[in-house]
Homo-oligomer: A and B are copies of this chain.
Amino acid sequence: MAESPITPREKDFAAWYQDVVLQGDMAEPAEIVKGCMVIKANGYAVWENLQRELDGRFKALGHQNVYFPLLIPESFLKKEAEHVEGFAPELAVVTIAGGKELEEPYVIRPTSETIIGHFFSKWIQSWRDLPILMNQWANVVRWELRTRMFLRTTEFLWQEGHTAHSNHAEAVEEVLRILDVYAEVAEDIMAMPVIKGVKSRAEKFAGALRSYSIESMMQNGLALQAGTSHDLGQNFGKAFDVTFQNKEGQREHVWQTSWGVSTRLIGGLIMSHSDDRGLVLPPKLAPVKGVVVPIYRKEEEKGKVLEAAHRIAKELGAKVDDREGQSPGAKFFHWERRGVPVVLELGPRDLASENIVLKRRDTGTKEVIPQAAVAGRFAEVLDAMQKDLFNAAKARLQANTVTANSLGEVEEILKDVTAERGGGKFVMAHVKDDPICDARLKEFKATVRNIPLVDEYDGAGKCIVTGEEVDRRVVIAKSY
């Protein structure tokens, strides 16, 4: 067999990631459009599965899908001061359309709070109009300087939920309910353990009162912010004059939330489970759960092997790789790189013994099982693989989470960590939620990932920057 086209993780984690993405038919850089990628068939199929999981949960909670324009008048962005400051450097601007210079340029949405604020102000009059619970599946553009496929691209696909409420408590409930949905999909479907928490004020969404996130740890120990849910307070309500008459007949500004996950999740998925042989996909997300590879040397074996392969594949809802002119070895390699959870081999000897060989992608273990038992075993293996991937990721997260009680300790722990070399840790330390502290950590390229909602450590302690008492340790890490 040819040398593996995949750089080992140990050698260069960043190069490994790029190789896995390419070899797994997940995406390819679109070098002619700055920082963009083409999402290829396997990658898009994973995205469709993620969409289905998320969309069903949003709808079950009463959200409706809608669609707002891609283009936003430039002036809209400026209505919320923090928002424009946060997004202005990343905007793509349309200045010419229909052959003419535009009087007012449009920006391509980097996110849709502003245009939605405009429509909320038209739609909301009374407390009876609330809550509004909406979501849209859309593309957005943010002109990033350093890009990486799936993790940070200038255009990406995402969902953005937008809700309006009559009071703050209900908005906060919504923000946390969605954070729970994100955590559930990450853990139960993607097999990717996450830490739910609130972002520091320095790291919150531009225009939010408070941002919440789920943070996960990649195999190189770097953190990935996998989803965010924002308590927007009345900031956009005030900027866009979104008011309602309350039950007492007084006008109030609405309380809003917004929340999103994107194709970035796929990057997290890849860096959570894949190995030096290529992509590993958790069975619940895998577009193809099983492939039967028929093996035969002689023409007279072919018919019987193929017939049995199709019969078994049908029973399992699996695929048969009956491509001509490809060796079984090339086929195994093909499906391995694409992360198919289970590959089954079936040859003339298996036909005679009424057995079949089942190979599990993550462990590489092979087992010979009776054909009569294959359906049950296939389901069991998929189920076990889903659980084992989660447990392995969880164990890795725990093994690479450490505590520190001084800035020096944090610096020492993280000093040699890079996306290429790995070695990253989640460092739990007491840090005050003050931009001064975030700035201090930035000096060694680390950030407060979030302040966990549930304290699993030792409670209150003194901030390692200011010495002031804070109520729990926060997660510090280098991150994507």
From the candidates B44, B65, B96, B118, name the one contacting A67 in the complex (CB within 8 A).
B44
Interface contact A93-B92, CB-CB below 8 Å: no
From the candidates B76, B93, B99, B139, name the one contacting A94 in the complex (CB within 8 A).
B93
- A189–chain B nearest beta-carbon distance, Å: 19
From the candidates B45, B69, B89, B97, name the one contacting A99 in the complex (CB within 8 A).
B89
Interface contact A93-B91, CB-CB below 8 Å: no
Chain B contacts for A232, CB-based, 8 A: none
From the candidates B34, B38, B69, B72, name the one contacting A68 in the complex (CB within 8 A).
B38
From the candidates B37, B69, B95, name the one contacting A30 in the complex (CB within 8 A).
B69
**Closest residue on chain B to residue A64 by CB atoms:** B41
Which 10 pairs from chain A and chain B are nearest by CB?
A98-B143, A41-B64, A39-B67, A36-B69, A93-B96, A92-B97, A33-B69, A97-B143, A95-B95, A44-B65
Interface contact A64-B91, CB-CB below 8 Å: no
- A239–chain B nearest beta-carbon distance, Å: 15
Chain B contacts for A454, CB-based, 8 A: none
From the candidates B40, B73, B97, name the one contacting A32 in the complex (CB within 8 A).
B73
Chain B contacts for A39, CB-based, 8 A: 66-67
| A residues apposed to B, CB below 8 Å | 28, 30, 32-34, 36-41, 44-45, 47-48, 64-73, 76, 88-99, 105-106, 108, 115, 118-119, 128, 134, 138-139, 141, 143, 145, 155, 157, 325
Copies of the protein in its oligomer: 2
- A197–chain B nearest beta-carbon distance, Å: 30
Interface contact A95-B96, CB-CB below 8 Å: yes
Can you report 13 residue pairs joining A to B where beta carbons are below 8 Å apart? A30-B119, A33-B106, A41-B66, A48-B65, A71-B141, A90-B98, A92-B98, A93-B96, A94-B94, A94-B95, A98-B143, A138-B139, A139-B139
Q: Give bound CA distance, A157 to B69, whole Å.
A: 10
Q: Give bound CA distance, A89 to B97, whole Å.
A: 8
Q: Give bound CA distance, A70 to B106, whole Å.
A: 15
Chain B contacts for A99, CB-based, 8 A: 88-89, 91, 143
Interface contact A40-B66, CB-CB below 8 Å: yes
Chain B contacts for A118, CB-based, 8 A: 32
Interface contact A73-B33, CB-CB below 8 Å: yes
Q: Give bound CA distance, A224 to B94, whole Å.
A: 30
- A122–chain B nearest beta-carbon distance, Å: 8
Q: Give bound CA distance, A72 to B36, whole Å.
A: 11
Chain B contacts for A36, CB-based, 8 A: 69, 71
Q: A92-B96, A93-B95 are in contact. Are A69 and B38 (CB under 8 A)?
A: yes
Q: A97-B93, A118-B32, A143-B98 are in contact. Are A44 and B64 (CB under 8 A)?
A: yes
**Closest residue on chain B to residue A128 by CB atoms:** B325
Interface contact B38-A70, CB-CB below 8 Å: no
Q: Give bound CA distance, A134 to B44, whole Å.
A: 11
Interface contact A108-B89, CB-CB below 8 Å: no
Chain B contacts for A33, CB-based, 8 A: 69, 71-73, 106, 115
**Closest residue on chain B to residue A144 by CB atoms:** B98
Most chain B beta-carbon contacts within 10 A, residue among A33, A64, A76: A33
Q: Give bound CA distance, A440 to B8, whole Å.
A: 68
